[in-house]
């Protein structure tokens, strides 16, 4: 596995692979790799002839300095896992390489970026859209792989790629969970032992909601109340939102006719977690 930081070299190499007829799969990450990232890598490895991972904790998508400061790092471990996953190239740019000094160019997917996670984290999706645009211009991938855990991010990236006529096909992969249901996240290491014990309630509450919808329940307010009550019984941590929305547009539903996305965000003491569940038509 090659490890490069210089964006110009990455662009040259991926261009050369293209000219040689390779199919390039790309998994953008912020490092601190876990089984969720590994599932994306395994799928990308299987569907392409070359596999590229980026490891970059993108400062512009953090709305809170303490979240950026406490975000876990372990580059040697990440490189080992990337190699084990069959990556041909690990790209580890510096913030200065990605953001040269001076007033920056930014990219914003309007509308979708201002709701749910975007409302709770001002500027977050502008940072995501900006860095993904740069990543996609540098890694000349045919396909890029994103996790359903960050559903809003994945559909914003799809819209970005469609609007700017960028190439990679956006593949959304299912959320990987702990055996108790907690969605894997790099931020889970920042949960206290008590919060970690309570955290599986998120998935249990979402699963309850999905079961209600499958059983014919349609009232979004009752679903939100039921999900909220289940979570409140397990933890005092405040919820940012519980959303009952259309998966492709994130518009709030007056009646929860599938397809429905149930999504939520909760603020534990040192980790804000998100989760969601898709109820398909």
Question: Catalytic residues, which ones?
Answer: 37
Q: Which stretch, 96-104, 130-138, 170-178, 238-246, contacts ligand AMP (CB under 6 A)? A: 170-178
Reported in sequence order, the residue ranges of 131-233 that DSSP labels E, i.e. its strands, are 143-147, 169-173
What count of residues does the chain have? 281
Q: Which stretch, 15-23, 35-43, 163-171, 234-242, contacts ligand AMP (CB under 6 A)? A: 35-43
220 alpha carbon, distance to own chain's centre: 25
Burial class from Cβ neighbours inside 10 Å (0-12, 13-18, 19+) for residue 233 reads: exposed
Q: Pattern 37-56, binding to ligand AMP, x per CB under 6 A? A: x-xx----------------
Q: Tell me: does residue 147 bind ligand AMP (CB under 6 A).
A: yes
Q: Tell me: does residue 149 bind ligand AMP (CB under 6 A).
A: yes
Q: Tell me: does residue 146 bind ligand AMP (CB under 6 A).
A: yes
**How many other C-beta atoms are found inside a 10 Å radius of the C-beta of residue 211?**
11
Is residue 197 classed as helix, strand or coil in its secondary structure? helix
Is residue 122 classed as helix, strand or coil in its secondary structure? coil
**Angle (nearest 5°) at CA 248 between 56 and 133:** 30
Considering the complex, state which of residue 40 and residue 264 has its C-beta at the smaller distance from ligand AMP. Answer: 40
Considering the complex, state which of residue 223 and residue 243 has its C-beta at the smaller distance from ligand AMP. Answer: 243
CA distance 207 to 107: 35
Q: Tell me: does residue 176 bind ligand AMP (CB under 6 A).
A: yes
Q: Tell me: does residue 185 bind ligand AMP (CB under 6 A).
A: yes
The only residue of 30, 90, 116, 139 in contact with ligand AMP, by rule CB under 6 A: 30
Q: Tell me: does residue 143 bind ligand AMP (CB under 6 A).
A: no
């Amino acid at each position: 596995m090659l490890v490069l930081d210089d964006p110009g070299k990455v662009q040259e190499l991926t261009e050369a692979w293209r000219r040689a007829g390779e199919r390039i799969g790309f998994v953008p990450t912020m490092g601190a790799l876990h089984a969720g990232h590994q599932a994306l890598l395994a799928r990308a490895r299987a569907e392409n002839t070359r596999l590229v991972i980026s490891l970059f904790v993108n400062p512009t998508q953090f709305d809170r300095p303490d979240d950026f400061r406490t975000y876990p790092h372990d580059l040697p471990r990440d490189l080992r896992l990337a190699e084990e996953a069959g990556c041909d190239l690990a790209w580890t740019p510096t913030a200065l390489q990605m953001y040269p000094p001076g007033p920056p160019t930014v990219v914003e997917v309007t509308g979708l970026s201002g709701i749910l996670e975007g409302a709770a984290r001002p500027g977050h999706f502008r940072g995501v859209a900006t860095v993904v645009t740069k990543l996609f211009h540098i890694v000349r991938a045919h396909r890029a792989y994103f996790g359903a855990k960050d559903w809003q991010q994945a559909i914003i990236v799809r819209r970005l790629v469609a609007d700017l006529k960028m190439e990679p096909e956006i593949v959304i992969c299912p959320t990987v969970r702990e055996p108790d249901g907690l969605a894997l996240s790099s931020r889970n290491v920042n949960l206290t032992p008590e919060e970690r014990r309570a955290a599986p309630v998120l998935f249990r509450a979402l699963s309850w909601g999905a079961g209600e919808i499958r059983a014919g329940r349609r009232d979004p307010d009752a679903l939100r109340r039921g999900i909220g009550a289940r979570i409140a019984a397990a933890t005092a941590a405040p919820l940012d939102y519980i959303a009952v929305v259309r998966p492709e547009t994130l518009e709030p539903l007056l009646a929860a006719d599938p397809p429905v996305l149930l999504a939520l965000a909760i603020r534990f003491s040192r980790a804000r977690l998100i989760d969601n569940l898709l109820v398909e038509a």
